[in-house]
Structure 1
Amino acid sequence: MFVGTLSLDLLLGDVRSLKQKRSVVRPVVAELKRTFDVAAAETGHLDLHRRAEVGVSVVAADAGHCQDVLDGCERLVSDRPELQVLSARSRVWNDGDE
């Protein structure tokens, strides 16, 4: 069993309130879940208007599949014109890793 994680640090476009931020981030998180069948959530920068951190995780039988899913998630977010990906960190663990 392998577990893959992805952390995306995002800069949002013209967002002036936390309510506007939610209206940008929530559809992205929902699309990640729907498209790739992953667990995804806003995980950081919760009190900043123009920044967001989105975390994604996936469980699969092989490491290659985990990495392919995480790469697809990163591409999906990168292709959105209202978001700029400042950094993306991914990692795949197997059940023997500490």
Structure 2
Amino acid sequence: MVVGALQITLHLAYANSLKAKRKVLRAITDRTRAKFNAAVAETGANDLWQRIELGFAVCGNDPSHVERQLDRIEEFVESLGLAEIVDVRLEVMNLKDMAWAPQARWNNHNG
């Protein structure tokens, strides 16, 4: 299994309240979920009016597909034009390559 994580930090120059920020935040998260079926959450700067930190997660079985999906999400968020992207961090992890990942186990419990 391949897991990709994308963190985007946005700046809202015109936001003058948390209500204004929440309106933009909701628009970005709702549209991204609907278009890409990706997990998305606010991951920081919760009480700052002009800053949004969003985390996105995608999983699949092909690292290049997961990375392309995250790239498309970044492009989509930018194309919305609701806020300026000031930082992007992306990481793709192949869990079967990780040392801590346990071997697959199939438990057959017969009652």
Please, what TM-score do these two structures have when normalized by structure 1? 0.95
- Give yes or no for the alignment of 1:85 onto 2:85: yes
Partner of 1:52: 52
CA contact (8 A) 1:39 1:58 kept: yes
Matches within 5 A, 1:9-88: 9-88=9-88
Quote the sequence identity (%): 35
1: CA distance between counterparts of 2:77 and 2:23? 15
CA deviation string 1:36-76 (max 9, x = no partner): 11000111110100001000000101101100110000001
> 2:91 is paired with a residue of what secondary structure?
strand
Partner of 2:98: 97
Please, what TM-score do these two structures have when normalized by structure 2? 0.84
| Number of equivalenced pairs | 98
1: CA distance between counterparts of 2:64 and 2:32? 19
| Cα distance, 1:2 vs structure 2 | 0.1
Gaps of 5+ in 2: 100-111
CA deviation string 1:1-29 (max 9, x = no partner): 10000000100131111011000111101
CA contact (8 A) 1:5 1:91 kept: yes
| Cα distance, 1:82 vs structure 2 | 2.5
The structure where strand makes up a greater share of residues is 1
Runs of 4+ in structure 1 over 6 Å off? none
Higher Rg of the two aligned structures: 2
1: CA distance between counterparts of 2:38 and 2:82? 22
